[in-house]
Amino acid sequence: MTSTDDGDVGGVPAAGTVTTTGPTLDSPTVGITDFLGLAGREDPRSVFTCSSRVHGVTGTLLVLPDALVLGEDDGTVRIPAAEVDAWWDSSSGDVFSLAVQGRHRHSVVLLSEFRRATVHAMTRAYGPLNRLSA
């Protein structure tokens, strides 16, 4: 198994690529078999959750019946469901960005593999895509 020192799954591997063959693991993400494991413990009330680490940036999304939680390396924001005015997504290569407009605009970057499931979950929770003008 090959991993990078920083646990990054996207982009160019870090300069210090390490090969492991046993239980000695250098990366905090080695041994996680799916990206949901990156998010830690799942909230039992969640409708949908995903997490990924791309190009050194960790993004998490948690859709709850009463709120939406977006997290990145610089912090986490919880948006009450009643405050979600609009949401949209945009793709760029192996990632996509989910933007949510509430009292403020927030976004999170996730792996493109999660795009369909994310759009489905967001549509079920908050209605169809609704792009507000900037």
User: Residue 58: which CATH number?
Assistant: 2.30.29.30
User: Which is nearest to 15 in space by CA: 6, 28, 24?
Assistant: 6
Is the same domain home to 46 and 23?
Answer: no
pTM: 0.63
Cβ pair 20, 28 in contact under 8 A: no
Is the same domain home to 21 and 59?
Answer: no
Q: Which domain holds residue 49?
A: 33-126
Find the mean pLDDT for residues 13-23: 40
In a domain, 104, yes or no: yes
Is the same domain home to 56 and 2?
Answer: no
Is the same domain home to 97 and 59?
Answer: yes
DSSP 61-103: EEE-SSEEEEEETTEEEEEEGGG--EEEEEEETTEEEEEEESS
Per-residue pLDDT tens digits for 77-121: 999 999 999 999 999 989 999 999 999 999 999 999 999 999 999
How many domains are there within the chain?
2
